[in-house]
Structure 1
Amino acid sequence: MLLTVIIPAFNCEKTIARSIKSTGVYSNNEIEVIAINNGSTDSTEKIIKKIIKKNKNVKYAESISGVSNARNKGIELSTGKWITFLDADDYITDTRKFDLKKYSSPSFASTDLIFFNYFVGHSKVNLYSMTETKNDVKQLLTTVLENPTKYLTVWGKLYRTNTIKKNGIHFDTSLSYSEDSEFLIRYLLSCRHVVFEDSFLYNYCLSEDSTVRKYNPSMINEYQKAIQKIRKDTFPYPYLKRSYLIFVLMQFNLMMVHNVFIEPSNQLQQLKAMCKKEYMAEALTAINLGDIFTPRLTPLVLCKYHFYFPASLIYKFRVFQNTKEQ
């Protein structure tokens, strides 16, 4: 088997059949799909079991709740040389872009990770064109950390199964947010060589039910837990320190837009309080007034110099933009 597609399946009765079909498992005997039911209460299990009766390369498994538990179970059961992750409400755009024979050839023997471009709704994210240094893993790690919303997704990539298992890399089940980021960073730290393909493989489907679009009182604590875990992962590598601090700032932006500023009370007070936290005070040292005209850093520069009110207006505007896009 050349490729294992791991699909965590939780209450996805409306989309799971489409996701499985999109993998190409019906037309390519070198692809296996492992759909892991992790606590569904709808017809998800019934649909998957109906599919596996017609295709021996589609496999059903179960795990305890949580997407990380499901993905870890899929890794454990995988038999392909490569692994890719697919969310049950998303789909692969064209499986012909899986040139599995090429990726298993001697010329790819030292390649551990393959990046593809992807769609977010109808918008294109072209990682190939935006990545200047594609082959230097150290330089790539700095790029990935400083641009987490573009790069730090677990899907849309091929991972060498042996690299995952040999290094004991797994999803941290204690994390509820940014578990993708933490997994990919640790995986990259184990990579010898990375390849970027100039093709669009994955379609991330926007949903109003997405957890990042709803207020969650525990979100900030969970993000902070992931930040500390990634600090631990990157601490042994001094060349990643500044990039890690930029990563923290990008996570702070997410916390503001997806949590603090969609809840009407005490927004300004929460912004001030979070900027005074030790990890944020350290991260804010990585930027200066020269970054004021970089859109994603603008509110952070304002926070660094204690201009909290104009920073809050920017975050409110970004929340408004997100609401319009839903």
Structure 2
Amino acid sequence: MNELLLSVIIPAYNCERTIIQAIRSAGTFNNRNVEIIVVDNGSTDHTKELVKKEAQNKANIIYVESKNGVSNARNKGIELARAKWITFLDSDDTFTTLNEHELEKVLLNSDSDLLIYNYLVGNSRINLYSMTKDKIKKVSVIMQMLENPTKYLTVWGKFYRTAVIKENSISFNNALKYSEDSEFLIRYLLNCKQIEFNKHYFYKYNLTENSTVRTYNFQLAKEYEKAIVQIKSDLEKHPIYKHSFSIFVLMQVNLIMVHGAFAKENTNNGLYQLKVICNKDYVHEALDFISLKDIKRVRLIPILLCKYRLYGLASVIYKLRIFYNNQKMKK
């Protein structure tokens, strides 16, 4: 039997409407060298039955269960993975119809530790390859990724060497509810030697109204803060990333504002919460590392306004961004 080339890990939780589509999209690469590990983490609907039925007479589909939580599910998948490479697929997303032989050729011949592909968000194309092709050194790539977390710091759409994960004991932090994938990826980046970008579109992130990042959660700020503190610790021995980490922190503040403080469902005073967040030590520290020259990053404009205590103007921009996001979702 040939050595397994790829382990596809799919966390599954109450996803009866989408899980089979996800599994079958992974089946695009269905051959003797690929295993699909579906990890149910506490589903109460028919997910379990559907996956077991799909796995009948298909030796490469493995169904297992884990404790609740997506991090526990992914860690279980890593524990069981036997292939040379690992990739992650969320249960409501799909792989594109990338040529199976092209992918197999890349995975067999690449000398890199991390392969990053372009991806789709709904019908929008996110071309990471074109944005990063001039970044040759690992340090410059990591800086680019930290400074653009919503585009780069997702665990999906990438291929990881199983040996790098297991030899460095890299796992998902189950104490984090948000940005746990970013934290995992950052630790992986620090341990890998070479990163490679591929121009093909491999992953499709399907937009849904029920997506957790689109649903207001009053604990959002506290949960993001946990992740920020952990990632700061991860980077402590790498001062070269200090400025990039500061931008990462402020991007997380943007997420807290758009999906928390100024979210429609939030009945509290968004302006007040913005001031509270901006007075946090980790935000103060990040603001000290940026200046007006960073205004070229459009998404930093509202938080730069906060640096100069122009909170009212910043709140207007956040409200406009929420309105724009809602209009996009209706299309």
| TM-score, structure 2 as length reference | 0.95
Structure 1, residues 236-280: CA drift from partner, whole Å, max 9, x if none?
Answer: 001011111110000000000010001242111111111111111
Q: Distance in 2 between matches of 1:273 and 1:141?
A: 30
* Matched-pair contact (CA < 8 Å) for 1:164–1:187: yes
The offset of 1:308, in angstroms, is 0.5
> How far is 1:159 from its partner?
0.3
Assess if the C-alpha contact under 8 Å between 2:119 and 2:202 holds in 1.
yes
Report Cα offsets for 1:285-319 as digits up to 9, x if no partner: 12223334532111111100000000000001111
Identity of aligned residues (%): 52
- Asked if residue 309 in structure 1 is aligned to residue 312 in structure 2, the reply is yes
**DSSP-derived class of the 1:192 partner:** coil
Can you give the 5+ residue segments of structure 2 that lack an aligned partner in the other structure? none
C-alpha contact (below 8 Å) 1:133/1:140 kept by paired residues: no
SS at match of 1:111: coil
How big is the shift at 1:101?
3.7
Residue 15 of structure 2 corresponds to residue 12 of structure 1: yes
Q: Distance in 2 between matches of 1:19 and 1:321?
A: 29
Q: 2:108 aligned with 1:104, yes or no?
A: yes
Give the partner amino acid of 1:100.
Answer: E
The answer for unaligned runs of 5 or more in structure 1 is none
1:241 alignment partner in structure 2: 242
Residue 82 of structure 1 corresponds to 85
Using the alignment, how far apart are the partners of 1:118 and 1:231 within structure 2? 28
Question: 2:321 is matched with which residue: 312, 315, 318?
Answer: 318
Change (3 A) 1:249 1:54: same
Give the structure 2 partner of residue 45 of structure 1.
48
Output the CA distance in 1 between the equivalents of 2:133 and 2:280.
34
**Which residue does the alignment assign to 2:142?**
141
> Does structure 1 residue 179 correspond to structure 2 residue 183?
no
Letter in 1 for 2:251: M
Pairs within 5 Å for 1:155-174:
155-174=156-175
- Higher mean C-alpha displacement, 278-287 vs 63-72: 278-287
In the other structure, the counterpart of 2:72 is: 69
In structure 1, the residue corresponding to 2:72 is in which secondary structure?
A: helix
Is the 1:22–1:95 Cα contact (8 Å) retained in structure 2?
Answer: no
Give the Cα–Cα distance (whole angstroms) in 2 for the partners of residues 313 and 143 of structure 1.
28
Is contact 1:137–1:191 with CA below 8 Å preserved after alignment? no
- CA root-mean-square deviation: 1.3
Report what 2:207 is aligned to: 206
Structure 1 counterpart SS, 2:113: strand
Query: Take 2:296 and 2:127, find their aligned partners in 1: how far apart are those partners?
Result: 23
CA distance 1:290–1:111, shift in 2 (3 Å): closer
Cα shift readout 1:33-68 (whole Å, capped 9, x = no counterpart):
000010011110001111111211000000011000
Tell me how far apart the structure 2 counterparts of residues 163 and 100 of structure 1 sit (CA, whole Å): 19
Aligned equivalents of 2:203, 2:64: Cα separation in 1: 23
Q: 1:293 to 1:184 in 2, by over 3 A?
A: closer
Deviating above 4 A after TM superposition, structure 1's stretches of 4 or more consecutive aligned residues are: none
Aligned to 1:131: 132
